[in-house]
Amino acid sequence: MADDGEEFEFEYTKVTKTTRTINQRRLSQRQESEDKAPEPKFRTLYGRDPKEFENVDVEKLLGQLTADELAQLSEEVDPDDNLLPPSQRCKDQTSKSATGPLNRKQLLTFLTKFAQEQEDWPELKPFQSGVKRGKIFEPKEQETTNSSDEKIILDLDDGTEEALDDASEADLVDLAGILGLHSMLNQDQFHNSILNKGQRLGTDKFESIVKAPVPRKLPFEPDNITDPEATAKQVIANDPNLTELNWNNIKFVPRETFKKMFAGLKQNTHLKTLHLSNTGLTDGPAEVLVEALKENTTLRTISLESNYLSGPMLRTLIQALLVQQRVLEFRACNQRPIVMGNRIEMEIAKAVEQNKTLLRLGLCFDVPCARQKVTDHIQNNNDNIRLKRIGSYEG
């Protein structure tokens, strides 16, 4: 089959009754090879020169054929010739009439029964139980050398050799740890050697077994006893003693309490740190926080981790920081919608690039471009503060 319009020639060679070999060659290559190759002895087709068939009228010849001859000729058509219609390339050779619609179950039953009734192919050697055929695999013999017989020759000074002869096994374990021979020591022996703690009794041997240390039982952290209603009233009243508000891990905080506290942030001038991690905060009360961030000028740290804020709400909160640009740290990881999306993350990165005061941002980005932009800009903000501090020292 030729897609570039070049001519091809097919040479048919009958191998068996049911198989046929098709050798495809380009006419241009054939002509070149014929020019170089010697003239063949037999150059005839059915006893005639092939050039005589070039001007034969094919339509006239087809008109002289009978129906049986045309049917036989159609079976000889090359199925890979894309110049023929599919009806001629894939001719239906079924002579039986249809017995009805396709019944898949009945067809599978017939094929299974037909396969079981077929005789097995004759084998050259009949199967015999317990008889191994072919060459049996035999692994190559490997030369085994006794490692204990090998001697290691070290060029040591006289004093060093005498010290090693008189050293105990505990001293040798310490020496192996100092030299960094990890494969000869376990973890406890190596750390005791590096920290110069001395080997414990029973572990000063090279064949000692490492045992996992028993973990210490730490007490559970106490529950957060902060009263949300009382502290919300302090925020609304602008209490000067309240500079840090921690509602972390307080479950079932009412939505109205969130809204009242966020509304009080608009006029609050003393609160600097706001922790609201794992409090069940959603987008509804967070809309009031967006308006508060646009007016508050004292907040420096905001933590909203492990809540139920959506990607668009996180984007809106970070964009709200651009109005005053006073917040230094904003954390909002581990929200319920894990994936924010490419568009949301790029918009957050664009908002962060416009913020000149943000020094730390706690968000997980899936888009590498957004993550790189945020990292570079926050690094630039930290570098600017460092340069100002150095300049003030020099002045």
Is 147 inside a domain boundary?
A: no
Res 208 pLDDT > 70: no
Q: Identify which has the larger pLDDT, 303 or 150.
A: 303
Whether 232 and 341 map to the same domain: the answer is: yes
Whether 175 and 266 map to the same domain: the answer is: no
Taking residues 160-172, report their average pLDDT: 69
Residue 17 pLDDT: 38
Whether 246 and 379 map to the same domain: the answer is: yes
Is 184 inside a domain boundary?
A: yes
Is 19 inside a domain boundary?
A: yes
Residue 336 pLDDT: 80
Residue 160 pLDDT: 65
Which residue's entry shows tokens 């005839």? Answer: 44
Q: Are 302 and 330 in contact (CB under 8 A)?
A: yes
Residue 13 pLDDT: 43
The Cα-based distances of 35 to 6, 27, 40, 326, 358 in angstroms read: 19, 12, 11, 88, 82
- Helix locations, the chain, DSSP H: 27-36, 58-63, 67-75, 86-89, 104-117, 158-166, 169-179, 187-194, 228-236, 255-265, 283-293, 311-324, 342-353, 368-394
Whether 245 and 306 map to the same domain: the answer is: yes
What confidence category does residue 312 fall into, taking pLDDT thresholds of 50, 70 and 90? very high
Taking residues 236-241, report their average pLDDT: 94
Is 131 inside a domain boundary?
A: no
Tell which residue, 256, 251, 248, has the closest CA to residue 229: 256
Least confident of 14-18, 139-143, 257-261: 14-18
Q: What is the pLDDT of residues 51-87, one digit of tens each?
A: 777 788 888 888 888 888 887 777 766 667 777 777 7
Tell which residue, 278, 274, 280, has the closest CA to residue 245: 274
Tell which residue, 69, 80, 63, has the closest CA to residue 22: 80
Residue 286 pLDDT: 95
Q: Which CATH number is 280's domain given? A: 3.80.10.10
Of 57, 80, 103, which residue constitutes the final position of a domain?
80
Rounded CA gap, 232 and 142, in Å? 80
Rounded CA gap, 122 and 382, in Å? 83
User: How many folded domains does the chain comprise?
Assistant: 3
Is 205 inside a domain boundary?
A: yes
Which residue's entry shows tokens 């054929």? Answer: 65
Residue 362 pLDDT: 94
**pTM (global) more than 0.75:** no
Taking residues 182-193, report their average pLDDT: 70
Taking residues 274-280, report their average pLDDT: 94
Is 34 inside a domain boundary?
A: yes
Tell which residue, 332, 392, 326, has the closest CA to residue 359: 326
Question: Which residues make Cβ contacts (< 8 Å) with residue 287, sequence separation at least 6?
Answer: 313
Whether 375 and 269 map to the same domain: the answer is: yes
Taking residues 232-250, report their average pLDDT: 94
Within 10 A of 84 (CB to CB), how many other CB atoms are there? 13
Whether 186 and 268 map to the same domain: the answer is: no
Rounded CA gap, 355 and 319, in Å? 9
- Domain containing 339: what range? 228-394
The mean pLDDT of the chain is 79
Residue 159 pLDDT: 63
Whether 172 and 260 map to the same domain: the answer is: no
Of 210, 245, 280, which residue constitutes the final position of a domain?
210
Q: Identify which has the larger pLDDT, 373 or 152.
A: 373
Residue 11 pLDDT: 43
What confidence category does residue 260 fall into, taking pLDDT thresholds of 50, 70 and 90? very high
Res 8 pLDDT > 80: no
> In the structure encoding, which two tokens stand for residue 77, read together?
């058509």
Residue 131 pLDDT: 80
Taking residues 211-227, report their average pLDDT: 82
Residue 311 pLDDT: 92
Residue 30 pLDDT: 58
Residue 60 pLDDT: 84
Q: Are 277 and 310 in contact (CB under 8 A)?
A: no
Taking residues 360-388, report their average pLDDT: 93
